[in-house]
Chains A and B, each alone.
Chain A
Amino acid sequence: MVEIKPAWSEQFEPGRLRQIAPLGLAAPITKEWAWGGATGAGVKVAVIDSGIEADHPAVRGVSGGVVLEYDPESADADENGMVATHGPHEDLYGHGTACAAIIRKVAPDCELYSLRVLGARLTGKGIVFAAALDWAIENGMQVVNLSLSTSKQDHFAIFHEIVDDAYFHNVMLVSAINNVPSPSYPSQYAGVFSVAAHDGKDPFSFDYNPSPPVEFGAPGIDLEVAWQNGSFIEATGNSFAAPHIAGLVARILSKHPGLTPFQMKTILAAVASNVT
């Protein structure tokens, strides 16, 4: 089997990752304290992607969803040219299902919502993305998985504004960094949980990188993932690492409601595998 190491993942290799000292709190933050006995129950997690196959055996149902399309010609379009279609929908590629199944594995009782933004055309991608984030904030999503990125400069400002907006609403945005070491939005903003693939397979074991922009390393290399038509495939990409962190964040939130994004990052950093 060919082994792939995406860009940004090499800094999580043994010997390269800086070991960091514990915070020295009166009582240490442990995995048991963080998520022991928790299941993600009651936490709303949005997957902004290609849709989720709700009846996939690894997904076991979704709580809701919306398809967001940019179509200014449509009679149903709002002032931004957006058309929102609520209700069940299929997964166009299989990728959203893969992400949903990973989140389900880590936080089995969370409420999954499918926000489908990938689709038939590239036109208006920035607007569609913005609409999805707005939908997530307005509908009380607490965790948002974004396995998407763009290098397009035109999107820089709009994404930045949305990420700040989400941060100030205590919405945890977990974003896969692009596999290439060039600008990639929104994963390089400080307000998101930026994730790349590391070489592990344990969904409850991740690394914290004290030299951002990429902050977390989670499984994403040669993984068995859910795909469309009820199938499973073996795949590699940073986009599979992000949902591992999204699932853990949901799990922690179900045990410790009301945490802010920076408190959540503190907890994750405290229980990362490279803290010695």
Chain B
Amino acid sequence: MKDRSSDVLREVAQLAANVGPALTPARHLELLRSITSAAMSLFGAAACSLALVRENQEELEFHVASGAGAEEVVGMRVPIGQGIAGYVVSSGQPIAIEDVTRDPRFAAAFAEGTGYVPRSILAMPLETEREMLGVIEVLDRRTRGAGLEGAGEMEMLSMFANQAALAIENSRVFTDLGRALFEAAGAAADGTELSQALDRVAQTAPGPSADLSELAALFNRLALVGPDERRLATRLVGEVVAFVGARRWSR
């Protein structure tokens, strides 16, 4: 009986680890979409999209888009070694090009992907002090818009880029931490010490580990959920800390 419940717990934990990342970023995607649609309307643009560097560090994948060709572009992958988006994440430099159709190879590649060939592109890296995350692109902006003079369009887009970069980084930390905890819980279900399981997960987990500032950001997000969920999260964290602390003392 005990064995069976351990199995069930392990399976549930594994399921949660696998499904969790697909469920948790719902609000995160919403936020990114609001950033692309806000940028699109501010620039009077035909479209705005956001592509992220994939784990292999060799491709970009379009995650969110608003406007023309949005449905087609989401999910599209492009190699980092070519194109405007690839240049921007490789060089760390924003660029604006007014007439991409004058480079026939480039225009053809774009059309193949989305069916929409822009004339102009404004592209800005999404970068934090920790990593290069991706690129935000504004296609065929029509007006400079009120308030854009002086400070400049690039600086304006950089504000959206900063916001998006921080949101992406926070979400990744949340997802990675959640996955690590669930995997550790699954591994510990057979009686393995939880701290050891956590250590093992930490050693094999992809991506950067969460430092204190990122944890603080996570807690900040936690403050936005309902009181019941918050109590549950607090209890969970408390239990983990108490469990790990007790095991350490006993050594």
Residue numbers of A with Cβ under 8 A of B are: 1-7, 9-10, 13, 49-50, 92-95, 118-123, 125, 147-154, 176, 178-184, 222, 227-229, 231-239
Question: Nearest A residue to B95 by beta-carbon distance?
Answer: A237
Known: A151-B127, A237-B93, A237-B96. 10 other contacts (CB 8 A): A2-B120, A5-B151, A7-B154, A10-B150, A93-B83, A118-B90, A181-B155, A184-B92, A231-B103, A239-B91
Contacts of B89 in A (CB 8 A): 122
Minimum Cβ distance to chain B for residue A197 (Å):
9
Contacts of A120 in B (CB 8 A): 58, 79-81
Do residues B129 and A235 form an inter-chain contact, with CB atoms below 8 A?
A: no
Given A6-B155, A50-B87, residue A150 in contact with residue B58 (CB < 8 A): no
- 20 example contacts (A-B, Cβ-Cβ < 8 A) are as follows A5-B153, A94-B106, A118-B87, A118-B91, A119-B90, A120-B79, A120-B80, A122-B57, A148-B93, A150-B127, A150-B132, A152-B127, A152-B130, A178-B92, A179-B94, A180-B154, A182-B162, A231-B104, A234-B99, A237-B94
The secondary-structure label for the interface of chain A is: loop
Minimum Cβ distance to chain B for residue A15 (Å):
11
Contacts of A2 in B (CB 8 A): 98, 120, 141, 143-144, 153
B186 within 8 A of A: no
Do residues A50 and B152 form an inter-chain contact, with CB atoms below 8 A?
A: no
How many Å lie between the Cα of A182 and that of B127 in the bound state? 10
B97 within 8 A of A: yes
Quick one: which of B116-166 are within 8 Å of A by CB?
A: 120, 122, 124, 127-132, 141, 143-144, 149-155, 158, 161-162
Minimum Cβ distance to chain B for residue A141 (Å):
19
How many Å lie between the Cα of A10 and that of B56 in the bound state? 38
How many Å lie between the Cα of A17 and that of B127 in the bound state? 30
B102 within 8 A of A: yes
Minimum Cβ distance to chain B for residue A213 (Å):
16
Question: Nearest B residue to A228 by beta-carbon distance?
Answer: B103
B105 within 8 A of A: yes
Minimum Cβ distance to chain A for residue B11 (Å):
35
Do residues A7 and B144 form an inter-chain contact, with CB atoms below 8 A?
A: no
The count of chain B contact residues (Cβ–Cβ below 8 Å) is: 51
Contacts of A5 in B (CB 8 A): 149-154
B53 within 8 A of A: yes
B217 within 8 A of A: no
How many Å lie between the Cα of A118 and that of B92 in the bound state? 10
Residue numbers of B with Cβ under 8 A of A are: 53, 56-58, 79-84, 86-87, 89-100, 102-106, 120, 122, 124, 127-132, 141, 143-144, 149-155, 158, 161-162
How many Å lie between the Cα of A5 and that of B132 in the bound state? 24
Contacts of B144 in A (CB 8 A): 2-3
Minimum Cβ distance to chain B for residue A148 (Å):
5
Do residues A233 and B97 form an inter-chain contact, with CB atoms below 8 A?
A: yes
How many Å lie between the Cα of A154 and that of B129 in the bound state? 8
Contacts of B96 in A (CB 8 A): 4, 235-237
Do residues B153 and A4 form an inter-chain contact, with CB atoms below 8 A?
A: yes
Do residues A235 and B98 form an inter-chain contact, with CB atoms below 8 A?
A: yes
For B93, give its contact among A125, A179, A183 (CB under 8 Å). A179
Minimum Cβ distance to chain A for residue B143 (Å):
8
How many Å lie between the Cα of A219 and that of B136 in the bound state? 24
How many Å lie between the Cα of A241 and that of B174 in the bound state? 40
Contacts of A182 in B (CB 8 A): 158, 162
How many Å lie between the Cα of A228 and that of B99 in the bound state? 14
Do residues B152 and A149 form an inter-chain contact, with CB atoms below 8 A?
A: no
How many Å lie between the Cα of A142 and that of B98 in the bound state? 33
Do residues A227 and B103 form an inter-chain contact, with CB atoms below 8 A?
A: yes
Contacts of B86 in A (CB 8 A): 92-93
Do residues A238 and B155 form an inter-chain contact, with CB atoms below 8 A?
A: no
Interface centre among A93, A154, A176, A227 (most CB of B within 10 A): A93
Do residues A151 and B92 form an inter-chain contact, with CB atoms below 8 A?
A: yes
Do residues B102 and A233 form an inter-chain contact, with CB atoms below 8 A?
A: yes
Do residues B83 and A233 form an inter-chain contact, with CB atoms below 8 A?
A: no
How many Å lie between the Cα of A215 and that of B22 in the bound state? 47
Minimum Cβ distance to chain B for residue A204 (Å):
24
Question: Nearest B residue to A10 by beta-carbon distance?
Answer: B150
Contacts of A237 in B (CB 8 A): 93-96
Do residues A151 and B129 form an inter-chain contact, with CB atoms below 8 A?
A: yes
Do residues B102 and A232 form an inter-chain contact, with CB atoms below 8 A?
A: yes
